[in-house]
Chain A
């Protein structure tokens, strides 16, 4: 009896829902498509696109209220100093996520790059540059290996994280080295009006947006993550797409390492280990998703900035820095919860 009723209720509810959906779609006059229901369907998209910018603004406002002096050239520069390498790492991670993979070796890789920059690049610039170039090549090879053998990217990059860490330790057994002078000067340029960190972030976001969103190449790369079969049917090579994205990840990883070592002036083998998780968090915060080729370069940069500023805010409201990691986790959970909420609203309307 009970099960009967449950069948009855489930069938009536779902079928009435589908019936109402059918009637609404069939009775709606043509003009209503551009009217409110149409607009309403895009609310969740709008909410989701604005969420990263919104959370960053909220954070900045809070910081400003707590500590008005932080909103100066100097204050912003101080707070956002380390944001650029994290933003670059986030972009690198985003490239891999675009094709539905995940790079668990990014932190180790960036550490290795930092070590190379603090040693070889300083002493033997040509060898150092070649080594960094080879790093990008290795990333492309990894993409090829993962694609050809259909390997789980998580495990391969996990293995690579050991390799990069090991290489970094071989190169720089104890913290030290020193960044090339040109690199140090480059990252401490005093830009007029707005600090370099902000200028660099904006330039980075716009460039990657052009590359991944506006260009035809970007469309094909994202399409490969969205519906691989359909894209392959139209003659796009999935192999090339994956290799290209991995190579991009390598390029941005190298840039992150260079930038980091320029700021810290010296390196150690574990300098950027936290970047693996931070970069994943940044991509997700910025509106990207793990599957389906849904990435947002501008959002990813904003996400990285949010993660960095979260720490500053805590210190301004006199919460122990111990909670900084926890705050990053909490922000991640809150943003994800808000996004789920936005999706639910979208599903309902």
Chain B
């Protein structure tokens, strides 16, 4: 057995777990990455793909379990430097090039082994040969400054840099959505190089949302869900449909239960039908999308009192869409925003809870141009009560609240303003279940009063609170359907690209 793994498994993960606070990002994962294979990793948002790759790359430590490399156990101190020494390279989605340096200078940053009097020549030669091998006809000169390159070219440099071997061979490369900013031809070049690389004995982990890429390039595909690896099979055993099914169908029973409950509640909600009538009197908010080649992209439409859900994989243009709507309507003061990324987009850390709540509604809280303290406190106390924010006093600093309660403050800020359109940018990130319940109810009640919500969410079950759902992919809504047609398979199959657009 051990002999077997020694020849076959390059990296073995045994019952690996990793938690972030309450959230178990990875639980009990057992997975083998063999020599000379391309292993696909697929799953919806929060399935644990990026946690897994960060553990492989040494940027995250694991809580429990064991990891071996070429049969040798890796200790607790496994970190980036050791990963590099073993020949493990990682191309993250966020670019890790220095924009102020040239391509060859960036090569030195990643491969400090290149040194000496002729280092420029050496780095340039390494980089050119790597680029030539992977992306023939790339047109990138090693002397180019990275800031001057297009996003696609930067991605190419980053990938090529991961494959440059200076004094030890590259054993394992992890590519996270490598084709996301490459055009079809260059993506094809990369994928054929991936095959050549693994046929030459290298190992590769590929994460992609384009199903065809996965099916054609991978030897095996591991399907992840809620921190588990639920299935590992030969890529040839899968079809597009069965992949989508594998990602969705093993939903845990609690999910289905809550789905049913929420479905019922929103169907029972009288506003769902009412909003259609009120929509006739009030012109709906309409957002047309690109009129480019994809003529079938739907028009996003929000009627008064509706809750519109935006779905799809994270980072596919949902937040940008919300931003666009926000900026275009902000002058009128008719729109409010609930941030999901609380620390960078939501809270004012030096302020009290009351001040954080009141900031969007200051106009209504002032008299003769001066803000009335009493009115601010009255508003804060009222909304503390309405949202059930658990704090002894709204004058306490924002930092004294738990994450969930901070999120409630952001909801109170938006709901307390006079806006009739409320945009929500995945606001439930890292919020506990109890808080979520309360907020869902609140949103439905506000919608019943005639407010319109546009809600981007990465959690499937939250879509069941929406009247109409749009699935985003590559910066656009690619499909829209009413709640009655919502199914996990439908969202998944729209989120993952089935054919390569030419």
Contacts and interface: CB of A to CB of B under 8 A. Distances in A.
Complex: A in contact with B (CB within 8 Å): yes
Interface of A: 1-4, 6-8, 10-12, 14-16, 18-19, 22-23, 25-26, 30-31, 33-34, 38, 41-42, 44-45, 214, 216, 219-220, 222-223, 225-227, 229-231, 233-236, 292-294
Nearest 10 pairs of A and B residues by beta carbon: A33-B139, A226-B98, A30-B137, A19-B292, A226-B100, A230-B96, A15-B290, A26-B183, A227-B98, A223-B98
A3 B328 contact: yes
A216 B115 contact: yes
Interface string B117-152: 001100000000000000011111000110011101
B66 to A, nearest CB: 25
B373 interface: no
B475 A11 contact: no
A236 B328 contact: no
Most chain A C-beta atoms within 10 Å of own C-beta, residue among B99, B152, B293:
B99
Interface stretch (B231-239, B281-289, B348-356): B281-289
A22 B292 CA distance: 10
A7 B150 CA distance: 28
B344 to A, nearest CB: 15
Nearest to A98: B100
Interface stretch (B104-112, B163-171, B272-280): B104-112
B138 A222 contact: no
| Contact residues of A: prevailing secondary structure | helix
A7 B109 contact: no
A209 B102 CA distance: 15
Nearest to A346: B148
Contacts of B148: 41-42, 44-45
Contacts of A294: 100
Given A4-B286, A6-B328, A231 B109 contact: yes
Contacts of B72: none
Contacts of B502: 26
A38 B139 contact: yes
A15 B293 CA distance: 12
Given A18-B475, A25-B150, A234 B285 contact: no
B80 interface: yes
B185 interface: yes
Nearest to B136: A30
9 contacts: A6-B328, A7-B325, A10-B327, A30-B139, A214-B120, A219-B109, A226-B99, A230-B109, A235-B84
B288 A235 contact: no
Contacts of B475: 18
A188 B109 CA distance: 42
A25 B183 contact: yes
A159 to B, nearest CB: 24
B109 A15 contact: no
Contacts of B402: none
A234 B290 contact: no
Given A25-B150, A26-B183, A220-B109, A11 B97 contact: no
Contact of A222 (B101, B283, B290): B101
B288 A12 contact: yes
Interface string B12-36: 0000000000000000000000000
A259 B163 CA distance: 49
A210 B115 CA distance: 15
Contacts of A44: 148
A214 B152 CA distance: 27
A10 B97 contact: no
A216 B59 contact: no
B324 interface: yes
Nearest to B138: A33
Contacts of A1: 283
Contacts of A11: 287-289, 324, 328
Given A216-B115, A236-B109, A4 B283 contact: yes
Given A26-B185, A227-B97, 10 more contacts: A7-B325, A23-B292, A26-B184, A30-B185, A33-B138, A33-B140, A219-B109, A223-B105, A230-B98, A233-B59
